[in-house]
């Protein structure tokens, strides 16, 4: 039996600690545009997109381009350090191909906006744009960019993301992108209105 066959036969879908029951339908923890095996977690902002939603977005003049993300289990590990700069960030493997790099660079050059779906996509896009003065270049490898307050965003103009766990690197990225006060205001509103948090929760669009 090949290793991949053994994994599929006896393995289970890795789930965040706040999901306490096995999924009755594993495909629910998968985006509709996933193509490659390797990630141990879903990029959960992408769970909001269905083929119908994507068609309606395209009808309004937007276009989609894709990256490959292999999210690691450490994405669930909370920040334990009081100074987040001392936290050891998990590395995740990603690939941003020439077609995607060209599409993103062309959108920015023409005055369009690049809307990233998910915080991991932001990290990959920003890593691919590092040192390029806003130009995104093809990239394949480990993504280890730790985005904190003060980061100058070079590739991403807007972000679709879920509401994240406190003390997470994902929340730190959202705060860096939106600004700490605006992020706190959004979370206070979400709590007051009883929005759903985490993997199967509600999403917000940060412009």
pLDDT in tens, 170-206: 889 999 999 999 999 999 999 999 998 877 789 999 9
Residues 106-129 pLDDT 10s: 998 899 999 999 999 999 999 999
Per DSSP, 125 falls in state: H
What is the pLDDT at residue 16?
A: 66
C-alpha 48/C-alpha 63 separation (Å) is 17
Q: Longest Cα pair distance anywhere in the chain, in angstroms?
A: 54
**Measured between alpha carbons, how far apart are the two ends of the chain, in Å?**
49
List of residues 6+ apart from 79 with CB closer than 8 A: 87, 167, 168, 169, 172
pTM: 0.86
Residues 58-78 pLDDT 10s: 999 999 999 999 987 667 678
Which domains, ranges and CATH numbers included, belong to the chain? 31-74+86-206 (3.40.1780.10)
Q: Return the H-helix or E-strand segment holding 106.
A: helix 98-109
Task: Answer whether residue 156 shows pLDDT above 90.
Answer: yes
List the structure tokens of 49: 């997109």
List of residues 6+ apart from 125 with CB closer than 8 A: 67, 96, 104, 114, 116, 136, 155, 156
């Amino acid at each position: 039996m090949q290793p991949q066959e053994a994994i599929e036969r006896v393995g289970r879908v890795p789930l965040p600690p706040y999901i306490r029951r096995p999924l009755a339908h594993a495909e629910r923890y998968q985006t509709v545009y996933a193509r490659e095996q390797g990630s141990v977690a879903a990029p959960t902002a992408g769970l909001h997109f269905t083929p119908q939603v994507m068609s309606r977005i395209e009808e309004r003049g937007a276009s989609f381009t894709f990256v490959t993300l292999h999210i690691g289990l450490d994405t669930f590990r909370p920040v334990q350090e009081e100074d987040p700069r001392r936290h050891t960030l998990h590395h995740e493997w990603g690939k941003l191909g020439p077609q995607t790099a060209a599409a993103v660079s062309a959108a920015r050059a023409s005055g369009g906006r690049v809307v990233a779906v998910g915080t991991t996509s932001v990290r990959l896009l920003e890593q691919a744009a590092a040192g390029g003065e806003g130009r995104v270049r093809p990239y394949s490898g480990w993504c280890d960019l730790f985005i904190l307050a003060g980061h100058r965003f070079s590739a991403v103009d807007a972000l679709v993301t879920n509401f994240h766990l406190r003390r997470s690197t994902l929340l730190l990225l959202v705060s860096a992108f939106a600004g700490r006060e605006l992020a706190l205001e959004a979370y206070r509103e979400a709590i007051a209105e009883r929005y759903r948090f985490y993997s199967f929760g509600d999403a917000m669009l940060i412009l």
